Amino acid sequence: MDYSSEQSQQKRRGFLDPRTKLAVTLVLAVFVMGGLGGDQLRYIKGVLSALPFLLLLTERQWRRFVRGAAMLAAGYGLLLAMPYLSGILNYLALFCGGILTRFAVTVVMGEYLIATTSVSEFISAMERLRVPQSLTIPMSVMFRLFPTIGAEWRSIRKAMLMRGIRLGGTKTGQMLEYQLVPMMTSTVRIGEELSASALTRGLGGSTRRTNICLIGLRIQDYVLLAGCLFTVIVWLLELCGMKLW
C-alpha cells in the first residue's frame, strides 16, 4: 500500500514531466546534434548544451554526469589540439571532436530521460498526448530494453573476465566471439520477453488503462517548454530573414 499511496508517488516523482523531457530531447537532437540554425542560435545552443548536465545534477545522477562531462571535454580537447596536428591526425581530431561535441549532449539527455522516467510515467504521458498505442508500446519496450541490455552486457563481461578473456589476457582473440555472440542472442531474448510482458499488462487492449503514477506540468516544465518554443521561434524568424541579434 505504501507504493500506491500519494505520498509515496510524490517522493518517486521526477523533477520534470516526461513530456518536457521528450520535448527537450527533440530540441537538442535537432538544433545541437543536427546543427540546425547556424550561428544565429550559437548562444542558445550553448545554454541547451549545459541543460542536460544541470538536470543530471538536479537528479543526483553523479556517474552519468561525470561520464557525459568527460565525453564533452574529450571532444573539445580534440578540437583545441587540432591546429597543432598535421596530416591524417588533424582530420581524425576534427572528425572525432565534432562528433563528440555534438552527440555527447544529446546522448546525456537521452540517458537522463531513460534513467529518470519509469515505464508507467512514460505510458501515462503518451496517453495524455493521445499518442496511438502502435507507437507507445514499442517506445515503452525500448525504455526497459536499453537498461536491461546494459545489465546483461556487464554480466557477460564479468563472466568472461573470470575466464581470462580480456584485453591483455591469454585469450584476447576470443573476446569478439565469446562476448558479442551471447550479447546478440540475449538481446533478441530480452526484446521478446519485454514485448510479451507489455502485452500481458494489457498495453495492447482496447480498454483504457488506469495509472497511479503522478505526472503533470509544473513551473520548471513550463519554463523549459517556453525555452524550447523560443528556440523554434528564433529559428523560424531566421528562415524569414529576421534576426534578433
Among 36-40, 140-144, 170-174, which stretch is predicted with the lowest mean pLDDT? 170-174
User: Residue-wise over 21-36: b if at least 16 C-beta within 10 A, else e?
Assistant: bbbbbebbbbbbbeeb
The predicted-structure confidence for 177-229, as pLDDT tens digits, reads as follows 777 778 888 878 877 777 777 677 666 666 666 677 778 889 999 999 999 99
Grid cell digits, residue 193: 520477453
Residues 231 and 112 in one domain: yes
Q: Are 146 and 176 in contact (CB under 8 A)?
A: no
Residues 11 and 112 in one domain: yes
Return the axis-axis angle of helices 133-162 and 181-200, rounded to nearest 10°.
140
- Which one-letter DSSP state was computed for residue 152? H
Each residue of 95-107: pLDDT tens digit?
Answer: 888 888 888 899 9
Judgement on whether residues 10 and 68 belong to the same structural domain of the protein: yes
Q: Are residues 32 and 146 in the same domain?
A: no
Task: Give the mean pLDDT of 67-78.
Answer: 90
Residue 126: inside a domain, yes or no?
no
124 assigned to some structural domain = no
Task: Quote the domain boundaries for residue 174.
Answer: 131-212
Q: How many domains does the chain have?
A: 2
**Within this chain, do residues 200 and 243 fall inside the same structural domain, yes or no?**
no
Q: What is the pLDDT of residues 148-184, one digit of tens each?
A: 887 888 888 888 777 776 665 555 566 667 777 788 8
DSSP state of 85: -
Instruction: Look up the pTM and report it.
Output: 0.78
Q: For residues 153 and 178, state if they share a domain.
A: yes
The helix/strand/coil state of 185 is helix
pLDDT at position 122 over 60 = yes
Q: Are both 229 and 157 inside the same structural domain? A: no
